[in-house]
Amino acid sequence: MAEYNYGDAYLRYPLGAGPYMFDDGSTIQVHDIFNPLPAFMKSADLIFADPPWNLGNINTFYMKADKTERVDSFERFYKCLFGRIWEISPQVCYVEVGKEHLADFIMEMRKLYKYTTFYNSTYYHGKDKLCYVIRGSNKAKKPALDGMDEEDIIEWICSNEDYNIIGDLCMGRGLIGLNAYRNKKRFVGTELNHKRLSVLIESIEREKKIKNHKMVTN
């Protein structure tokens, strides 16, 4: 369907089945988190994940990714997600979620980290588009992020958290990758839909071209 082609970036930057590596070693892969975690994901010492928020939402993403299979239980999905986070064991982890499963995600985060907190947030900068960002860590620290839009939280995390490599298990069009790149930081990530993930490569290539052009003309 044309409306789920995300500007056709996948035609200009096609992704195969294996990992795709950027110049700085940042690595991404088209991947379903129900399958075993790619080894490169374990290099992340910070995670931000914005997974589907409920069963209807996840199956819409499967449909958009042209998958014929469907997920039958959201609990199975989020337990798998937190299982992958446990495998990676980042020092700090952020997960975004809607109200419906906020309590479930907080409980999962509490199993992994000594300190868990959550922030009221919004998406698409819409006052009525409410969501939550949960933070887990073994050190007592609570950055003041309450009330910020998730995009601004992502920007803040990528430029202010102390990390070497940020990971995202459900990258989508790659806000995490793009913001890490802008901060000269490495990132790793997986995403179900190759068409969505190609958008990240195109965004980074576009920013690189602008930077190179400025260097030539200055």
Residues contributing to the site for ligand SAM (CB under 6 A): 32-34, 50-52, 58, 61, 65, 170, 172-175, 190-193, 196
Task: Please answer whether residues 88 and 41 qualify as being in contact, where contact means their C-beta atoms are separated by less than 8 angstroms.
Answer: yes
Identity of the residue, 157 or 192, whose beta carbon is nearer to ligand SAM in the bound complex: 192
Identity of the residue, 99 or 114, whose beta carbon is nearer to ligand SAM in the bound complex: 99
Burial class (CB in 10 A: 0-12, 13-18, 19+), 80: middle
Q: What is the DSSP string of 10-31?
A: HHHS---SS-EE-TTS-EEEE-
Shortest Å, Cβ 119 to ligand SAM = 16
Residue nearest ligand SAM, Cβ-based: 172
Shortest Å, Cβ 217 to ligand SAM = 31
CA–CA separation, 42 and 202 (whole Å): 25
Task: Please answer whether residues 153 and 167 qualify as being in contact, where contact means their C-beta atoms are separated by less than 8 angstroms.
Answer: no
- E strand or H helix that includes residue 78: helix 74-88
Shortest Å, Cβ 196 to ligand SAM = 5
Identity of the residue, 4 or 141, whose beta carbon is nearer to ligand SAM in the bound complex: 4
Identity of the residue, 101 or 196, whose beta carbon is nearer to ligand SAM in the bound complex: 196
